[in-house]
């Protein structure tokens, strides 16, 4: 199931994260978010991107503890670095 969707309204893209109950950001979700923004880079007449979440509890709770709680130290460091690379690529995408 995809937890990130894109809806286009004219030149506005609405990217919605839907990962109940608190929109936690595990690595697979971050990959979906990056993929969504990579798709949006291909849209020539895009003017605005609205990034929102479904649900009413919170925008995003942060890291998905269920995903990270069983990582060993070495893999935990690598996981953190992968997350950082994804977030940095989003920042670069947003500037373009």
Q: pTM higher than 0.85 for the full model? A: no
CB of 55 closer than 8 Å to CB of 19 = no
Interior/surface letters 22-48, b for 16+ CB within 10 angstroms, e for the rest? ebbbbeebbebbbebbeebeeeeeeee
Q: Residue 51 maps to which CATH number?
A: 3.90.226.10
The partner residues of 8 in beta bridges, in order of sequence, read: 13
Would you state the pLDDT for residue 66?
67
Would you state the pLDDT for residue 19?
85
Per-residue pLDDT in tens (0 to 9) along the chain, 96 residues: 599 999 999 999 999 999 888 877 877 888 898 889 889 888 989 888 888 888 777 777 666 666 666 666 565 566 667 767 776 766 555 554
Would you state the pLDDT for residue 74?
64
CB of 66 closer than 8 Å to CB of 31 = no
Q: Range of 9's domain?
A: 4-95
């Amino acid at each position: 199931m995809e937890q990130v969707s894109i809806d286009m309204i004219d030149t506005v893209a609405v990217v919605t994260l839907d990962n109940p109950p608190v929109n936690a950001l595990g690595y697979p979700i971050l990959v979906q978010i990056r993929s969504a923004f990579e798709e949006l880079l291909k849209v020539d007449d895009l003017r605005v991107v609205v990034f929102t979440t479904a649900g009413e509890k919170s925008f995003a709770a942060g890291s998905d503890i269920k995903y990270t709680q069983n990582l060993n130290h070495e893999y935990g460091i690598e996981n953190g670095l992968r997350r950082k690379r994804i977030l940095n690529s989003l920042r670069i995408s947003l500037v373009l």
